[in-house]
Structure 1
Amino acid sequence: MRINADFSRRASLAPEDHGWVKSPQNGVERVMLDRIGEERARATSLVRYAPNSYFPHHLHPGGEEILVLSGTFSADDTHYPAGWYVRNPPASGHRPYSDEGAVIFVKLRQVSPGETQHVAIDTHDGANWQRQHNRDVCPLFSDDVEQVSLQRIEAGELLLDTPVPNGAELLVLAGELIEDSQVYQRWSWLRLPVGECGHISAGAAGATVYLKTGHLSQVIGDKPDDT
């Protein structure tokens, strides 16, 4: 299966176009944003857990990155309410579930092989935010390959003012972004290829976005993974 698998091209999906499809596990549905592979794949998805749904314990040889968008997502004996960012290194494993239901943004098999640390950050904690270049930023992860953060963009402000050498990917978490006549509302996803910037600015109420840069010069990992 290949969905938005040409990383040299722009890709996007608006909330009204979200096509929720059943996963192999009862009560768990997905919107596939990009994907290379079948059930075990390099994948970026929105995943929706119905109350009391779960996946059996499984490993993630290529690592896993999660942002909890609503509800409470749990893994083993740890619970992550909306706003938590979780990053699990390669070779880690867990039993994910949700008692109350949850929607999460998930990236599978996109973690560098050398990563060893588990990351868990509460983005609703003001202590995790800092002022950078006249905007509020919550740093989530950074290494020689990629930079991941949440960013609060004021009304009319450009998201990116220069082309990103190694690509960018974003998910709108609040407010809206505008590019010409296109409006990206909450839970819109957009991937910009290497060297593209786009004239993307925040709408009248501003915007909060998940922003990942530097990771699209190559597709990290080409082996299957569990979801």
Structure 2
Amino acid sequence: MTERRVDTVLFDLDDTLCSYRRGGGELIELAFEQVGVDPFFDVVDYHARYPEFVDDTETVEELRSDCFAAIAADRGYDAETGRALADAFAAERDHRNVEATPGAHEALEHLADDHRLGLVTNGAPEMQAKKLDGIGIRDAFDALVFAGYDTPGKPDPAPFDHALSRLDAASDRAVHVGNSLGSDVAGAHAAGVGSAWLPDGTHDGPPEPTPDYTLDSLHDLQAPPWRE
């Protein structure tokens, strides 16, 4: 694409700036073991249904419970089995037990010299704040937007618009960095914001929608591609 004059960078959080040391797939397997039910869905199924419940729940625990119950009902199980699995999952999850993505701290430090920085993340404030504190980056941002709580969830353009408003920034001079084509890239484009995609290795084939920039790692942001 043509070079953008960028003075604002927005970031996704989960699997962009940090990730759990114990992944959701492992915790779902443990939940099935503890409830004593043969597995009938996996973390991919969970993530696919997650956005359906973001706008109608107050906490991540409530969201997960409703999501697991819906999956259970759709697969021919009692909804209460799904809620029991959600309880077992929650008992194992520690939101502070996260690790920074390689290059995250360096990227934030470098970009802060001449960019406004914002966070646009789908997730409950109390949950996401623990992750930010867990890797020590809460104070790196000039604005925090918890989509699904402050605004509708990504890919709705509202959380991006809200972040830009708080940063007094223009959409055509902003780029959003995230790992999800469906939430981050699509949502950024809907808001008129540029997109920098950080692939997580789970996508095959050409990316759709097409990101403005594709990163090999967050280390690339020490020489931002929009300056090339």
So what's the TM-score if we normalise by structure 2? Answer: 0.26
Structure with the larger helix share = 2
Higher relative contact order at CA 8 Å, sep ≥6: structure 1 or structure 2? 2
Higher strand share: 1
Rg larger in 1 or in 2? 2
Give the TM-score normalised by structure 1: 0.26
